[in-house]
Structure 1
Amino acid sequence: MRDLIIEKLYEFTKKPYQKFFKKGIPWNITPSQLIQYNQDSLGFHLGCFLLKYNFEMQPKLEDHDIIHVLTNTQVAVTDEIGMQYFLLGNGKRSMYLYMVITIGTLFYPFQMKYFIRNYKRGKMAHRIHDLDFLKMLTLPLTALRTTFNII
């Protein structure tokens, strides 16, 4: 039931967040195009991630899926919350992030060790939350993880 509530909150808030808070231009690239990149590239792995979960990239929210790939984060609700903890540790500050962390912590207090572990991972990593990932799609995923100390 908790997962369903959080998923519905996400669906309810996604469109206003895209429209009023996210800047930039949608990438207009499909998973099929991404898997044409070199097999070691960030773009290829992003395409595989999207196809694995039968996702399409959400306009202006492409970075979210990239963070999944870079941090090797799955898509369960607690994983999504953990990823927000990673981003908090990495220096990201946004109303949306605080909302997810607050609600997630209240709904899943028994996952605090997991959340704190992700926060610490974000602290140890070099700042990634505001990079221009579109320009990085051809770069090797392992090199990016190493360069930005994403463990």
Structure 2
Amino acid sequence: MKKYSISEKIIKKSFYLSVWIIEKICDTEKLKSKIAELEKLEQGTLGKEIAKNLKENNLNLVPNFESHDLKHSLLGFKMTPLDEIRMQAFMIGNGNWSLVSILIFLYGVILLPNKWNIFLQDLRKGQQAIPIKEWRIDEFADKQIDELRQSLFNPKTQKVYSMKKWTVREISQYGSFAIIAAGIFGMLFCLPYLWSANIADLVGAGFPFVAGAILVVGGLINLSILSQKTELENSIPKK
């Protein structure tokens, strides 16, 4: 069995907790039957590989995140803490600037600073591949996985992403994500010391813990304000 570092264990438990919560609040029965259908596909197809990976890791398809498992199988990233972050790095480079991808990536960057060079390489690979963020299982399940992988870096269809120019709002938004991630990391780091009988430990950990909580709340407030502004702008009829 593979041994994980403390940081990787935190990432792994966080992901399994997230999946568990989603499974509890969503109906997963339809997706279980979908896995059974994927298992019936021919060997070498993307759908067959997805079903195989889920079975080997004792996982199910997660509602609204089915394409996540597609990307794991298509890109060859294992369902391990490190590869989970690596895949998000690839997808961000590939143009998938979603809230979930950015938060997971920042979470990994903070907890795994010794892997930054690997994440950078994956991000660059994502920039060199054709866009796959819109790919869905229903559309590609019966396609041969080797052929799909070759098409990702086909020079004829390849699109290299240049660094986008960020607006003030985008900088503020992604800055909020970074602040929230930093605050959560600070709180988790200080949490064990808050149970210490040593007053010095309590005081030394208490202030950073509160500061981390303030960062999280501040980031959430800023995101809420940005969301309200966006909704207001969208509600104004365009001339």
Please say if 1:3 is aligned against 2:8.
yes
Of residues 44, 51, 71, the one that matches 1:67 is 71
Question: Match of 2:53, SS?
Answer: helix
Are residues 45 and 11 of structure 1, via their aligned partners in 2, closer, same or farther at CA, if it must alter by over 3 Å?
closer
The one-letter code of the counterpart of 2:86 is: G
- Going by fraction, where is helix more abundant, 1 or 2? 2
Structure having greater relative contact order (Cα 8 Å, sep ≥ 6): 1
Question: Are the equivalent residues in 2 in contact too, given 1:27–1:60 (CA < 8 A)?
Answer: no
Alignment of 1:1-151 (within 5 A): 1-11=6-16, 13=18, 15=21, 27=31, 29-149=33-153
Question: Are the equivalent residues in 1 in contact too, given 2:70–2:136 (CA < 8 A)?
Answer: no
Cα deviation digits, residues 17-63 of structure 1 (max 9, x gap):
xx8xxxxxx75544333121011211111111111212111122111
Q: Structure 1, unaligned stretches of length 5 or more? A: 20-25
What is the aligned length?
142
Are residues 58 and 121 of structure 1, via their aligned partners in 2, closer, same or farther at CA, if it must alter by over 3 Å?
same
Residue identity over aligned pairs, in percent, reads 23
Q: Structure 2, unaligned stretches of length 5 or more? A: 1-5, 155-239
How far apart are 1:7 and its partner, in Å? Answer: 3.3
Match of 1:22 in 2: none
Aligned CA RMSD, in angstroms, stands at 2.1
TM-score for both structures, normalised by structure 2 = 0.54
In our comparison, the structure showing a higher alpha carbon Rg is 2
**Structure 2 CA distance, aligned partners of 1:45 and 1:12?**
24
Question: Are the equivalent residues in 2 in contact too, given 1:37–1:138 (CA < 8 A)?
Answer: yes
